[in-house]
């Protein structure tokens, strides 16, 4: 009989099952998220993530604390008994812990071979078969007394090996080395502190937990050195809450002979390649013009980035530009998220030290309890041994006359009133040791043991004595492994403040505006070797200004708008091209035209406007300055009458106003007041008849006359003077409007 064919719908019913999203999150997502948080990404109070702890403990079991180095591949293979991840992930973890990688301020692994560098993403580490490792000397403090039940042990993933849940480190390793981790929904970012300063601060905290930690723990310290910009308020915030950030920047020196800058220490959070790539991008875009070459000269002697610069360049100003524009200056964001008894907590430095001291006190109590137990066991055995001192012959007789071996211990127990453990111990004594001298020497230990046990019990009951032990251990760590700071502290007030203008390359430029609204910005150095300006047919230059690259350009349009642009935001061009079309560059309105262009760095001076209806107005240029970087200002001047002429002035000036080519008047701008409003209609300066208007405005030097003072007026509004026939002939009076002439 043929099988019945299952339909597609029936198949879907078999494999697809609806499930509420809340149930999916609870059953599938939450276990995964908690596993990543608790068992992978977030460090615990001993300063280690599970991957670090498994690796280091494996090396400890391999006797690599005192033994010789072994191949990294051997360590990776052995670690897989505790860590079920791939060999690649384990080796990456090992690399970061090594002295050779320079990622840790207090390296935990002594290494030989190429382990790459933390400050370079392209400097790859060698394969594990080529490198060798052993535990660093400081790991003696990490594993101190681990065999004395100082921490809990649990089964590994397959139940074949026991591994520690924490390592009993005798110093606050959680703050001695940087630790970064990204979990699910949370992350951890812990900076490192100098070991000498950290041990001292911890000792002072144990003595008085109300101390100001900033007085004893000045600032973080990093393996890559650099400079830390010190702001006590920011650090106090980090020390209190575990959140905040501080600034780091590179160290450099100037080689005057070779005209180059050598960068030899960089912020911990960046790398060589990022710095070089960003610097090259700035050079190519023209934002940095002083660098002629950049090279990575890092070698066995350490990091070095070399910048070749132009001879007349100020190296300090250039570096401050690079600090603002490249990762040579970077911020380290702190998020002291730590697992405390399986619970993630964001803690300040003081709270971290509080939990670490509590953890360390618990470890020492467990160690003391272990020592007491061992000494009490030994004391108990020696008490049994002391009982046979009274009659050694009896003990020998009991052993000799006992027919069955299994009855030796019971007979000794009944003969000397001792328990089984003591009986087993006595029965195991070698024949040569059954003499008074040996037994008396052993019994003499009873008094010493008794005193030692009492001292240990007294210590176990006293928090003060346990804290004294911790302080003693910290002083020992400080003496053995403490080193000078690598990251230099620079007071914030000592840092040179760089303005936005300082970041702009300052060089001479010339600006060109044409009637067809084409614009050019040409460097003076380029202009010297250039030929004639290329223009469209029948186009002409309307405005030409020589200024610097730090200036701000104002464009006045026929729609009563002002468009503003910074010169450095506009790329340099050449005389041989048409230039930028302003409607595209400025985003102008349809059919809108630019009438006039001016440039300013400080908004000094004023604008003067002359209108067809005989009115004129003055407006301070500062009226066009804005706090926000606005690109367009509307109502930039009066719209009540047609504009005939406008110009920027630094001081008062003379102008000749012409009425319909029959009358003219010469006046000075000081004759009419400065307006407070940009769009003010102004004051009447020329009296006009019906159907007459101002047809042109001249500067006196542009008006040809043997006696130009003939037209001067002493008051406004002026009725003007009829233009003399010889002046009409000399000037031609074509009627052209000189709007925008400069």
Contacts for 161 with CB less than 8 Å, ≥ 6 apart: 81, 82, 155
Using alpha carbons, list the distances in angstroms from residue 520 to 164, 536, 554, 706: 72, 13, 14, 38
- Nearest-angstrom CA–CA distance, 686 and 719: 6
Say how many C-beta atoms besides its own lie within 10 A of residue 711's C-beta.
24
Q: Are 319 and 302 in contact (CB under 8 A)?
A: no
* Residue 180 burial class via C-beta count within 10 angstroms: exposed 0-12, middle 13-18, buried 19 and up: middle
SS3 call for 305: strand
Residues 630, 648: Cα–Cα separation, whole Å: 20
Do 723 and 630 meet the contact criterion of CB atoms below 8 Å apart?
no
272, 120 contact by CB (below 8 A): yes
DSSP string, 201-228: HHHHHHH-TTS-HHHHS-S---TT--EE
Burial readout 685-695 (b: 16 or more C-beta within 10 A, e: otherwise) = bbebeeebbbb
Kindly give the pairing relationship between strand 488-491 and strand 227-230.
parallel
Q: Which residues contact 455 (CB under 8 A, 6 or more apart)?
A: none
Beta-ladder partners of 543: 513
**Residues 308 and 485: beta-carbon distance below 8 Å:** no
130 is catalytic: yes
As beta bridge partners, residue 596 has 556
Indicate which residue of 29, 130, 157, 581 is catalytic.
130
Q: Closest Cα to residue 579, out of 614, 628, 611, 544? A: 544
Q: Which amino acids are annotated catalytic? A: 130
């Amino acid at each position: 009989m043929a099988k019945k064919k299952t339909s597609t719908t029936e198949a879907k019913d078999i494999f697809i099952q609806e499930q509420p999203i809340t149930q999916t999150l609870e059953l599938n997502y939450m276990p995964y998220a908690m596993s990543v948080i608790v068992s992978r990404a977030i460090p615990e109070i001993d300063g280690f993530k599970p991957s670090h702890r498994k690796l280091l403990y494996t090396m400890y079991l391999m006797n690599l604390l005192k033994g010789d180095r072994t191949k990294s591949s051997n360590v990776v293979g052995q670690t897989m008994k505790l860590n079920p991840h791939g060999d690649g992930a384990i080796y990456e973890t090992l690399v970061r812990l090594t002295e050779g990688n320079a990622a840790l301020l207090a390296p935990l692994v002594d290494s030989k071979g190429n382990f790459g560098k933390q400050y370079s993403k392209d400097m790859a580490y060698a394969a594990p078969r080529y490198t060798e490792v052993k535990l660093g000397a400081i790991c003696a403090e990490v594993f101190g007394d681990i065999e004395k039940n100082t921490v809990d042990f649990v089964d590994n993933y397959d139940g074949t090996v026991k591994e520690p849940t924490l390592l009993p480190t005798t110093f606050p390793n959680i703050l001695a080395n940087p630790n970064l981790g990204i979990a699910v929904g949370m992350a951890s970012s812990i900076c490192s502190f100098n070991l000498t300063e950290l041990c001292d601060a911890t000792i002072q905290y144990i003595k008085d937990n109300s101390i100001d930690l900033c007085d004893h723990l000045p600032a973080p310290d990093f393996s890559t050195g650099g400079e830390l910009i010190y702001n006590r308020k920011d650090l106090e915030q980090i020390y209190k809450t575990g959140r905040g950030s501080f600034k780091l920047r590179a160290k450099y020196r100037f080689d005057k002979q070779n005209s180059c800058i050598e960068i030899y220490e960089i912020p911990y959070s960046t790398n060589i390649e990022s710095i070089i790539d960003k610097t090259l991008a700035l050079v190519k875009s023209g934002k940095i013009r002083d660098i002629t070459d950049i090279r990575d000269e890092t070698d066995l002697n350490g990091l070095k980035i070399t910048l070749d610069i132009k001879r007349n360049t100020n190296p300090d100003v250039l570096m401050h530009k690079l600090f603002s524009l490249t990762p040579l200056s970077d911020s380290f964001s702190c998020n002291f998220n730590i697992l405390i008894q399986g619970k993630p907590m964001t803690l300040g430095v003081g709270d971290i030290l509080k939990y670490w001291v509590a953890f360390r006190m618990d470890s020492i109590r467990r160690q003391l309890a272990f020592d007491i137990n061992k000494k009490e066991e030994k004391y108990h055995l020696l008490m049994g041994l002391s009982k046979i001192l009274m009659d050694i012959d009896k003990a020998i007789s009991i052993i000799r006359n006992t027919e069955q071996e299994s009855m030796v211990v019971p007979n000794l127990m009944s003969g000397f009133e001792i328990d089984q453990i003591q009986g087993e111990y006595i029965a195991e004594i070698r024949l040569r040791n059954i003499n008074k001298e040996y037994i008396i020497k052993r019994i003499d230990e009873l008094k010493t043991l008794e005193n030692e046990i009492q001292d240990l019990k007294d210590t176990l009951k006293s928090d003060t004595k346990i804290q004294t032990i911790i302080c003693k251990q910290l002083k020992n760590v400080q003496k053995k492994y403490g080193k000078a700071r690598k990251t230099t502290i620079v007071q914030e007030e000592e840092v040179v403040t760089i303005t936005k203008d300082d970041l702009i390359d300052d060089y001479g430029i010339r600006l060109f505006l044409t009637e067809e609204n084409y614009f050019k910005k040409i460097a003076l150095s380029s202009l010297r070797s250039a030929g004639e300006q290329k223009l469209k047919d029948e186009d002409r230059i309307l405005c030409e200004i020589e200024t610097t690259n730090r200036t701000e350009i104002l464009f006045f349009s026929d729609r009563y708008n002002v468009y503003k642009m910074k010169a450095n935001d506009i790329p340099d061009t050449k005389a041989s091209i048409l230039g930028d079309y302003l409607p595209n560059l400025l985003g102008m309105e349809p059919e809108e035209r630019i009438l006039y262009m001016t440039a300013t760095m400080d908004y000094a001076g004023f604008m003067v406007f002359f209108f067809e209806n005989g009115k004129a107005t003055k407006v301070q240029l500062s009226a066009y300055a804005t706090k926000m970087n606005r690109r367009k200002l509307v109502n930039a001047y009066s719209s009540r009458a047609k504009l005939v002429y406008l110009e920027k002035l630094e001081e008062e000036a003379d102008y000749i106003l012409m009425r319909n080519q029959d009358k003219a008047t010469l006046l000075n701008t000081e004759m009419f007041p400065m307006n407070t409003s940009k769009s003010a209609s102004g004051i009447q300066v020329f009296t006009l008849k019906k159907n007459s208007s101002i047809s042109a405005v001249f500067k006196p030097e542009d008006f040809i006359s043997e006696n130009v003072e003939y037209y001067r007026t002493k008051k406004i509004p002026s009725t003007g003077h009829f233009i003399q026939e010889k002046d009409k002939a000399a000037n031609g009076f074509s009627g052209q409007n000189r709007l925008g002439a400069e």
